[in-house]
């Protein structure tokens, strides 16, 4: 079975990160508002990034990690700019350890 971690752009400009085992169905649920919670009041939503994962644990771990990232770091990941992601991770680390 394939699992996915994904990022949605919401109508208010925010991002939502989630994971699922059926990406098409889950995005449809976000679009229709059948999922109560964060995206139901921020529609329409647009899928801006997704990554396939081999296990649910891998997808959940990625979701939790990405949720902790800054907006700039998420946007660098969406662009595929991994050097910027790495640079921003170092900046985040320095901020936390000061």
| Structural domain boundaries in the chain | 1-67, 69-98
pTM of the model: 0.88
- Please list the pLDDT of the chain residue by residue as tens digits (98 residues): 899 999 999 999 999 999 999 999 999 999 999 988 999 999 999 999 999 999 999 999 999 999 999 999 999 999 999 999 988 887 655 555 55
H helices of 1-98, in order, are: 23-32, 56-67, 71-79, 82-97
CATH code matching the domain that covers 1-67, chosen among 3.40.50.460, 3.40.1440.10, 3.40.50.620, 1.10.730.10:
3.40.1440.10
Listed in sequence order, the residues at least 6 apart from 47 whose beta carbon sits closer than 8 Å to its beta carbon are: 6, 7, 8, 27
């Amino acid at each position: 079975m394939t699992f996915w971690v994904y990022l949605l752009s919401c109508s208010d400009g925010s991002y939502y990160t989630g994971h699922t085992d059926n990406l098409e169905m889950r995005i449809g649920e976000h679009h229709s508002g059948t999922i109560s919670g964060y995206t139901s009041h921020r529609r329409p939503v647009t899928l801006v990034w997704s990554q396939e994962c081999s296990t649910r644990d891998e997808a959940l771990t990625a979701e939790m990690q990405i949720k902790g990232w800054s907006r700039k770091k998420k946007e660098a990941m969406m662009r595929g700019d991994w050097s910027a992601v790495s640079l921003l991770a170092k900046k985040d680390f320095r901020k936390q350890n000061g």
